[in-house]
Structure 1
Amino acid sequence: MPIRPSHTIAAALLMLALSCGAQARSPHGAQQQVAGVYHQQIGELQITALFDGTVALGRQELVGVDPTAVTRLLDHRYVPEDAQGLQTAVNAYLVQRGDHLSLIDTGTAACFGPGLGQVLGNLRAAGYDPAEVDDVLLTHAHPDHMCGLLDAQGKAAYPNATVWLSQADASYWLDPASEATAPQQVRMAFGMARNAVAPYVATGKLHRFTPAERLPTGITALDSHGHTPGHVSYLLDGGNGQKLLVWGDIVHFHAVQFARPDAAYEADSDRTAAIASRRRLMAEASDQGWWVAGAHLPFPGLGHVRREAEAFAWVPGEFSPLKR
C-alpha cells in the first residue's frame, strides 16, 4: 500500500521522537545534584535543612563496642563506605518564625577541603540572603559546625547576625591555653574556632551563654555535653504541640548508635557524658514524639526516634510538600 501524506508525517514525527530520546539518553559529562535544600513545616516554624556535603568517618573511630558488633550493625544498612570511611552527612538548619531567621550550625566552609562547604550557597539557593539571618546558634565549636561563619573571603558570612556559643565551649575552644594541653589530633580545631568567630568578636556579636539563659524566639538550649565540654542541643516549640530537637552531634554513626547508644565516638571529649546525653535525648525525643534534626544524619536529617526494646531506631520523615 502506498504511504499517504499522513503516514509520512507520522513516520517523521516517530523518527524525531526516537532521535530526541536517543539524545536525552546520551552521556552529558559531569553532572551535579540539585541544591541540598529541604523545607519542613513544624507548627509555626518553617525549617530549611541545608546540606554542607559529606565527610568520611572510619568505623574504627567507634569505641566502647566490639568491632564484630559494629560490623553486624553495618551489614545490610547500605551506608556508602570507601577506603576513607563511612559516608557521613554534614547538615545545618535554618529556622524561620515569622520574620525572624535563626541558623543552627553553619557547616565547614573551607576548613575540610573539597566536597564540603555548601551551606552558604544552599541557603542562597533556598531564596534567603545571608544578611537576613538574625541569629546563628552553634551546637558546639568544632570546625564542621562553625567554620561556615566565614565566607570565601574570610569575612563574616552573616554580617547582621548575633552568634551564640555556649560559655563552656567558648572557654575551652577559644582559649590558647586549652590548645597547649589538648590532644595533638584536635589542636588544629582551636585556631579554626578563633578564626571563625573573630569578625563577630570584633563587632561585639559573639554572645556566650549558659543553657539556662533565654535564647531568641522561644528556643531553649539543652545541656548535652560530652562530645565537647559545652555541647548543647536546641529545643524549638512550633506550637500546636509540635516540637523540634536540633541535637547537633548526639549521633555520628546512625547505623550503629541508635541500636547501640553505648557506642562512643573517638573524638568525644568525655565519652561517658556523651553516651549519657545520647541516651537521655533519644529517650525524651521518643517519649515526647518530638521531631529531631541531626547534623550527621542522612540529609535532610529530619525525622523521629522510636524505642526498640532497650535501644532506639531512626525513623526518617516522610517527604512533605510545601503548603502555601
Structure 2
Amino acid sequence: MSMNRRRFLATAAAAPAAVALPKATLASGAPTKAQPVTYRFTVGEATVTAILDGYLDAAPEIIPGFDADTVGSALASAQQKLQPGGVRIPVNAFLIEQGETKTLVDAGTSSFLGDTMGDTGAALSAIGVTPQQIDAVVLTHMHPDHSGGLIDGSGAAVFANAQIAVDQTEFGFWHDDAIMASVPESSRGFFQIARNTVAPYADRMIMHTGETEVLPGISTLPLPGHTPGHAGYILQSGSEQVLFWGDIIHLTALQFANPQMTIAFDGDPKLTVETRLKMLDRAAADGLRVTGAHLDFPGLGKVLKTADGYAYQAAPWQYGA
C-alpha cells in the first residue's frame, strides 16, 4: 500500500464515522496475505519477539527533497529497490516476556491503514499468545500504526487485562480540543483515531513523564519531535539492555547516512532531527542495541559512527532464542 499524505488524511477523516476501517477484500484468485512473521531474541533473562505487523510504501511526496536517483542508489546499496508506490518500510511491534509477564511495545495497525498491515494479532496467535495474556502495552506514540491495534472493529478493547502506558504530553496533545480545532478539518479525524484507540482503557492508563521505570525492567526515554510526546523504552535485564526507539528512523537505507532527512509525518522536523542526532550519537558511543517500528525487520542492531554520518549494523541472528 502506498502511503502519501492525502491517503493518510483521508483515513483520518473517516475515523469519526467508523472507529476502524474495513480491510480491502481480495479479489477472487488474488494471493492471500503472508503467514505471520516473527523473530525471537533474548535480552538478559527476557525474551523479545519482533512482530511484523506489515508494510507500507512511503510515497516520494512525503519525503522532502526526494531525489529518485539518490534514493535509488541508497536503496540499491542496501539490496533494496524503489517500489512503484515509494520506499517500502515495515511496521513492527514487539512482545517482551519477563517470566510470566507479557508486555507489548506498540500494538500494530489493525485495519486503519490498509490490507498490507494489521498482522500483530495473527502473529501473537501464531506464537501461542492470546490478547488476554497481555499485561501491558507501552506506546511510543499515538499514531494509528502504533495504537490502532488496541481496539477491534467495534471500538472495544482488544487487550482485556492490559494497562496502557503513554507519555503524558503525547496523551494530552491528542486530547486537546483547542489543538484539534486549530488543525485543518481533514486532519481532525487523526485526533479522533488516537482518542478512540485508548478510550476503552481509560481506567487502566499509566501516564509517564521524563525518564522513569514505568514497569519492572522497562524505563522510559523522551524522544520528542516526531510527535510531541514520542518516547522510547529501555528494557534492562541483568547486564543487557535494548532501546525500543519508536520512529526515530523510518527509512533504514536512507536516514542513517542522511540523518537530516525527515518525512511529512514528523510533527516538528527540526526537533525530530535534533532528537535523532542525539540518539544516534548515544547509541554509537554506548554500543547500545536498538530496535524500532520501521527499522528493516526484524529491526535489531547497532548504530556505527562513520566518517560522514552513521550506519546501521543489523544484529546477527540469534539461533535457538
Name the amino acid aligned to 1:112: L
- Which structure 2 residue ranges, 5 or more long, are not aligned? 1-28
1:296 alignment partner in structure 2: 294
- What is the match of residue 216 of structure 2? 217
TM value normalised by structure 1: 0.84
Look up the match of 1:96.
97
- Per the alignment, do residues 264 and 29 of structure 1 end up closer, same or farther by CA in structure 2, a change over 3 Å counting? closer
Distance 2:308 2:243 in 1: 21
Matched residue SS, 1:35: coil
Looking at structure 1, the residues matched to 186 and 311 of structure 2 have their Cα atoms a distance apart, in angstroms, of: 32
CA RMSD in angstroms, aligned pairs only: 2.1
Q: Which has the larger radius of gyration?
A: 1
Q: 3-state SS of the aligned residue for 2:247?
A: coil
3-state secondary structure, aligned to 2:228? coil
CA distance in 2, matches of 1:252, 1:213: 26
Aligned equivalent of 1:194: 195
- In the alignment, the residues of structure 1 paired with residue 32 and residue 272 of structure 2 have an alpha-carbon distance, to the nearest angstrom, of 39
Equivalent residue for 1:14?
none
After the TM superposition, which residues 229-248 of structure 1 pair with which residues of structure 2 at under 5 Å, given as runs?
229-240=228-239, 242-248=240-246
Contact 1:225 1:274 in 2 (8 A): yes
Q: Distance in 2 between matches of 1:266 and 1:179?
A: 18
Shift of 1:214: 2.9
Output the CA distance in 2 between the equivalents of 1:313 and 1:247.
16
Per-residue CA distance 1:59-90 (angstroms, 9 max, x = gap): 33222677764454334434343332211100
Q: Report the Cα distance in structure 2 between the residues aligned to 1:286 and 1:115, rounded to whole angstroms.
A: 33
Partner of 2:88: 87
Contact 1:51 1:90 in 2 (8 A): yes
Identify unmatched segments of 5+ residues in structure 1.
1-27
Deviation at 1:100, TM superposition (A): 1.4
CA distance in 1, matches of 2:247, 2:237: 22
Tell me, in whole angstroms, the C-alpha distance in 1 between the residues paired with 2:86 and 2:189: 21
1:77-226 aligned at under 5 Å gives the runs: 77-183=78-184, 186-201=187-202, 204-226=203-225
Deviation, 1:231, is: 0.3
After TM superposition, the structure 1 = structure 2 runs for residues 56-95 of structure 1, keeping only pairs within 5 Å, are: 56-63=57-64, 69-95=70-96
Q: Deviations over 1:259-283 (max 9, x none)?
A: 0111112211111110011111112
Match of 1:19 in 2: none
Matched residue type, 1:297: L
Percent identity between the two aligned chains: 34
Distance, in Å, in 1 between the alignment partners of 2:106 and 2:90 is: 13
Letter in 1 for 2:209: T
Q: Deviations over 1:13-57 (max 9, x none)?
A: xxxxxxxxxxxxxxx994654321110012111000111100110
| Matching residue's letter, 2:247 | D
Aligned equivalents of 2:184, 2:297: Cα separation in 1 = 31
* 8 Å Cα contact 2:259-2:273 kept in structure 1: yes
C-alpha contact (below 8 Å) 1:211/1:232 kept by paired residues: no
Query: Is the Cα contact below 8 Å between 1:228 and 1:270 reproduced in 2?
Result: yes
- Matched with 2:276 is 278
Change (3 A) 1:225 1:124: same
TM superposition shift of 1:123: 1.0
Note if 1:227 corresponds to 2:237. Answer: no
Distance 1:185 1:80, change over 3 A: farther
1:305 aligns to 2:303 (yes or no): yes
Counterpart CA distance in 2 for 1:78 and 1:221 is 34
Matches within 5 A, 1:250-289: 250-289=248-287
Q: Tell me the distance in 2 between the aligned counterparts of 1:122 and 1:154.
A: 21
Conserved 8 A contact 2:75-2:82: no
Aligned residue pairs: how many? 293
